[in-house]
Amino acid sequence: MSTERSISAFARARNVIAGGVNSPVRAFRAVGGSPIFMKSGAGARMRSLDDREYLDYVLSWGPLILGHAHPNVVKAITTAAARGSSFGAPTEAESELAELIIAMVPSIERIRFTSSGTEATMSAVRLARGFTKRDAIVKFAGCYHGHGDAFLIAAGSGALTNGVPNSPGVTEGVARDTIVLPYNDAAAVRGAFEADPDRIAAVIVEPYAGNMGLVLPDAGYLQALRELCTKHGALLIFDEVMTGFRVGRGGVQERENVLPDLTTLGKVIGGGLPVGAFGGRADVMDLLSPTGPVYQAGTLSGNPLAMAAGIATLKAIRDDATLFERLEVLTKLLTEGLTAVFDKHGVPHTAAYAGSMFGLFFTAGPVRDLTSAMTADTERYGKYFHGMLDRGIYLAPAQFEAGFVSTAHTTKDIEQTIEAADEVLAEI
Ligand SMILES: *Cc1c(COP(=O)(O)O)cnc(C)c1O
């Protein structure tokens, strides 16, 4: 199958763009080969530069819950664009999107929009530090919170030691204020609080971890984080940039009935345009400038086009009572179908799904944290990925990523995917 045009487009890009891409995973390093350049998308499918069609389970890494180029979203964006792309002054669209979010996400009383998830998490942590007047944060190995310095920290040698930078350019000073613990280990968090009760400003967690593959929390884990934060006067931050409006209208917090103090959002709330947000308790959020002293800003924050795309997307979610039920039925069908063909071919695997997110590790598991996720056979995943790609199925070009289903996917699409997996697994 020809990918000539993509290959030459990548050569061109590499001359002018660092690594040829504007976000590293797009470069296919984890699976080998050359990235497929896309030129258009409609519904569940994308069309490449070489005019091949792909059934898409990446969906721009989560945002496109209604599929590509949904008519309502396209109309909202073009209508907004014709009125002017940015004013640097408030617009009513910002309040409209805020009201939609606040009506659906249980813990959010006030919100502020940013242009990316990265900005949202950075700002939420600054706000938590400003509110508690403490310096340290706790994060979990394998949870991704964007590329802010405070999050690019790996676990130190001892379980309770501070982290170490895991990217050049992140300073030891920053690392000193980030404590990295294993996911799904409430005892480790208890230990960190007991070791230094007045130092931890916040615990930030992906309540369903979707950036090391999909790893779900053990029963009681999120509740334990809630209780520990409350007891020790730290804020609990749920990073729902991926799970927000993906696993249900009210995110993980509604599904699990555990309410954080602050929530970060992104991806779906921008309907495919650059949007992030953080929100939560009014008494905490009111500490932000201009009402309070904690500084946070953005030239294009609350951009009219981005708000329009987000409003169209969240209205579709709000007005469709069975949307998440239907998505979860499809995602379950896919996950169970894949599990059956993996069993049939005797390929060790661990699968999980929640709402419209799914994950499939090439390891017998169980997978509960980063250490167990890392036992996955990434080489075999690479072969599976390319086998599926050749059959027109676009999966994440890396083992440690979640997959996504949209309202544009059909039962027939799922069946086609399972048949393709059956063929591929027979070969690899
Ligand atoms: C994608 C993601 C981010 C970062 O969002 P960007 O818009 O890429 O900056 C942060 N947290 C989680 C959980 C994410 O999935």
Query: Does the beta carbon of 146 sit less than 6 angstroms from any atom of ligand 1?
Result: yes
Lookup result for tokens 């934060």: 229
User: Each residue of 309-346: b (16+ CB within 10 Å) or e?
Assistant: bbbbbbebbeeeeebbeebbebbebbbebbbebbeeee
* Per-residue model confidence (pLDDT) at position 108: 98
Cα of 147 vs centre of ligand 1, distance in Å, is 8
* Per-residue model confidence (pLDDT) at position 231: 98
Query: Does the beta carbon of 211 sit less than 6 angstroms from any atom of ligand 1?
Result: yes
Other C-beta atoms lying within 10 Å of the C-beta of residue 24: 12
CB 202 within 8 A of CB 195: no
Lookup result for tokens 């598991």: 365
Query: Does the beta carbon of 145 sit less than 6 angstroms from any atom of ligand 1?
Result: yes
- CA–CA dist 158, 154 (Å, integer): 12
The atom number, within ligand 1, closest to the CA of 117 reads: 5
Catalytic residue among 54, 144, 208, 221: 144
Output the tens digit of pLDDT for each of the chain's 428 residues: 689 999 999 999 999 999 999 999 999 999 999 999 999 999 999 999 999 999 999 999 999 999 999 999 999 999 999 999 999 999 999 999 999 999 999 999 999 999 999 999 999 999 999 999 999 999 999 999 999 999 999 887 665 567 889 899 999 999 999 999 999 999 999 999 999 999 999 999 999 999 999 999 999 999 999 999 999 999 999 999 999 999 999 999 999 999 999 999 999 999 999 999 999 999 999 999 999 999 999 999 999 999 999 999 999 999 999 999 999 999 999 999 999 999 999 999 999 999 999 999 999 999 999 999 999 999 999 999 999 999 999 999 999 999 999 999 999 999 999 999 999 999 99
CA distance readout (Å), 148 to 61, 376, 411: 19, 27, 39
Pairing of strands 276-280, 164-165: unpaired
* Per-residue model confidence (pLDDT) at position 162: 73
Sign of dihedral through CA atoms 110, 116, 117, 123? negative
Query: Does the beta carbon of 117 sit less than 6 angstroms from any atom of ligand 1?
Result: yes
CB 130 within 8 A of CB 295: no
Cα of 69 vs centre of ligand 1, distance in Å, is 22
The atom number, within ligand 1, closest to the CA of 23 reads: 8
Please state which architecture CATH assigns to domain 71-319: 3-Layer(aba) Sandwich (3.40)
- CA–CA dist 261, 236 (Å, integer): 5
Amino acid type, 254: E
Answer yes or no: 239 catalytic. yes
In degrees rounded to 5, what are phi and psi of residue 157? -70, -45
Distance of CA 324 to the CA centre of its chain: 17
Answer yes or no: 218 catalytic. no
Complete DSSP assignment for 123-148: HHHHHHHHHHT--EEEEETT----S-
Among 60, 211, 243, 300, the mutation site with the greatest number of ligand 1 atoms within 8 A of its Cβ is 211
Amino acid type, 198: D
CA distance readout (Å), 285 to 65, 226, 400: 28, 19, 33
Which CATH fold topology does 4-69+322-427 show?
Answer: Aspartate Aminotransferase, domain 1 (3.90.1150)
Q: Could you give the residue range(s) of every CATH 3.40.640.10 domain in the chain?
A: 71-319
- CA–CA dist 13, 428 (Å, integer): 32
Amino acid type, 267: K
Distance of CA 368 to the CA centre of its chain: 18
Cβ contacts of 325 within 8 Å, gap of 6 or more? none
Answer yes or no: 54 catalytic. no
Cα of 241 vs centre of ligand 1, distance in Å, is 5
DSSP state of 218: P
Catalytic residue among 139, 221, 267, 369: 267
- CA–CA dist 288, 339 (Å, integer): 47
Q: Could you give the residue range(s) of every CATH 3.90.1150.10 domain in the chain?
A: 4-69+322-427
* Per-residue model confidence (pLDDT) at position 350: 98
